[in-house]
Amino acid sequence: MATTSRQAFQEEADKNAWPPAISDFLQPAPVAPNSRGQVASNPYDCMTLTCLCPYFRGNIGAGNQCILPDGQILKMSYRKEYRMLTDDERNRWHYALAELKRSGEYDQLSMQHQVVGSGSGAHSGPGFLPWHREYLKRFEIALRLIDPTVAIPYWDTVMDNYLQDPRDSIMFSPIFAGETDFFGNVVTGPFAYWSTLEGRNAILRNLGQEGALFTENNLLQVISQTNIEYVMAYTAPLMGCPFPINFFALEYAHSNVHLWIGGHMKPPESSSNDPIFFMHHAFVDFVWELWREARQPRLSNMYTDQLYRYAPRASCTAAMPTCGSPYLFCDTRGSPHCVSKVKINGLCAGYEGLDACFDGVCIRGTCVPGPTPANALTVIFHVSNGQLMGSVAVIPANFCKKIAVRLVDFAVHRKPPTVDEICR
């Protein structure tokens, strides 16, 4: 696209009154003339929804929108964090994956990554990010041909990395990516006993033995980078390569997550056997997109202008200590941030009094079954200019043994109470 094309097209899009049946946010931008992927001999080569429409047995209607056989409009994919999906969205994601696996198309697509697992431009260089972006696009199209409402969720591993032991995350439970047996075989959840390209009867994982999950600092190192060669970097440079090694490059941090999962995810040739691969790479693509939006606004945006967009990462504040998901909780200690909930019997030391355990409570550093503690909204009174004033503070229900607001004492003190005063 031309240097100013995206701005011009967005201005044109803003002038249009899109039908109320579709959110403006998921309405594709106008397509530049002669852009690739407007017509294709197979759905995987498409770069627009109008190109995809006939493969979904749809018809182009008003506003150049694709009307599906059930009357719904084919929208751009909206990639949310895995734990931010509604139960229905998560079930649809799992069902579409199962159908893709049953049909054999999952393995066909997985083989494409197996082929480029070593000795190709898809890894260890500037081709890593764009190659995997196209690969995810094709995988997502395959899923949407099964269920047009499905989008690849991303897995924000930063939220798991806050935990004492990320292996205890709700991520690795039957509700989400499943659990392993003593030998590392995935035996519960939606991917239990999936056959692999190598002929095994279960996906293999070896969590937490090496590598590391993403940290906020990893993301900051990428998003704040101003040199493109440090983002789309040569991570296995040969002798004489003129570009210096940047160990903060996104591909390095991404590889550490592969190592942390272990098993099939460790070697590039076998990593796509595990559906976690696609959720992990969706997050990598999201981080790259955040950098592109901040640093490279003049380049082509066909993927995120036409086919998919990302939902914001989960966040919370002291005033609103909720992350918008029953599978996440807000750690209000220090700077508030969202953390993955811990499954029953998992370690939760330091989170006592917070809603850290899924369907349980944190007692003596372990999640045990029990009622989930709720955050208490406590009105704290103080005197200002002779008037008794109230303000709301969020205090975890189990933060202190007794929460009692004694108006007379606070009025006498003529200052906001301390935690010691509240809890005494």
Bigger pLDDT: 203 vs 113: 203
355-to-199, 303, 348, 375 alpha-carbon distances in Å: 42, 38, 10, 8
What's the pLDDT score for residue 33? 77
Assign 295 a pLDDT band (cuts: 50, 70, 90). confident
Through-space distance between the first and last CA atoms of the chain, rounded to whole angstroms = 65
d(CA 236, CA 206): 25
What's the pLDDT score for residue 195? 97
d(CA 410, CA 424): 13
Q: Name the residue ranges covered by the structural domains of the chain.
A: 1-75, 78-310, 313-373, 376-423
Whether the per-residue pLDDT at 299 is higher than 90: the answer is: no
Report which residue type is found at 299: L
d(CA 384, CA 128): 60
What's the pLDDT score for residue 231? 73
What's the pLDDT score for residue 399? 40
User: Are 234 and 124 in contact, with CB atoms under 8 Å apart?
Assistant: yes
Q: Please give the average per-residue pLDDT across 50-61, as a whole number.
A: 96
Fold assignment, 78-310? di-copper center containing domain from catechol oxidase (1.10.1280)
Q: For 336, phi and psi rounded to 5 degrees? A: -60, 140
Q: For 360, phi and psi rounded to 5 degrees? A: -165, -170
Bigger pLDDT: 63 vs 374: 63
Assign 412 a pLDDT band (cuts: 50, 70, 90). very low
Q: Per-residue pLDDT tens for 7-19?
A: 444 444 444 333 3
Q: Which of 124-133, 198-207, 363-372 has the lowest mean pLDDT?
A: 124-133
- For the chain, percent of residues with pLDDT exceeding 90: 60
Return the HEC string of the chain.
CCCCHHHHHHHHHHHCCCCCCCCHHHCCCCCCCCCCCCCCCCHHHCCCHHHHHHHHCCEECHHHCEECCCCCECCCEEECEHHHCCHHHHHHHHHHHHHHHHHCHHHHHHHHHHHCCCCCCCCCCCCHHHHHHHHHHHHHHHHHCCCCCCCCCECCCHHHHCCCCHHHEHHHCCCCCCCECCCCEECCCCCCCCCCCCCCCCCECCCCCCCCCCCHHHHHHHHCCCCHHHHCCCCCCCCCCCCCCCCCCHHHHHHHHHHHHCHHHCCCCCHHHCCHHHHHHHHHHHHHHHHHHHHCCCCCCHHHHHHEEECCCCCCCCCCCCCCCCCEEEECCCCCEEEECECCCCECCCCCCCCCECCEEEECCEEEECCCCCEEEEEEEEEECCEEEEEEEEEECCCCCCCCCCHHHHHHHCCCCCHHHHHC
Q: Per-residue pLDDT tens for 65-92?
A: 999 999 999 999 999 999 999 999 999 9
What's the pLDDT score for residue 20? 39
Q: What is the mean pLDDT of the chain?
A: 83
Q: Which of 168-172, 290-294, 343-347 has the lowest mean pLDDT?
A: 290-294
Q: Please give the average per-residue pLDDT across 132-157, as a whole number.
A: 97
Q: Per-residue pLDDT tens for 211-269?
A: 999 999 999 998 988 877 777 755 555 566 566 666 667 877 888 999 999 999 998 88
What's the pLDDT score for residue 255? 86
Q: Which of 36-50, 245-259, 312-326, 339-353 has the lowest mean pLDDT?
A: 245-259
Bigger pLDDT: 397 vs 235: 235
Assign 185 a pLDDT band (cuts: 50, 70, 90). very high
d(CA 256, CA 156): 14
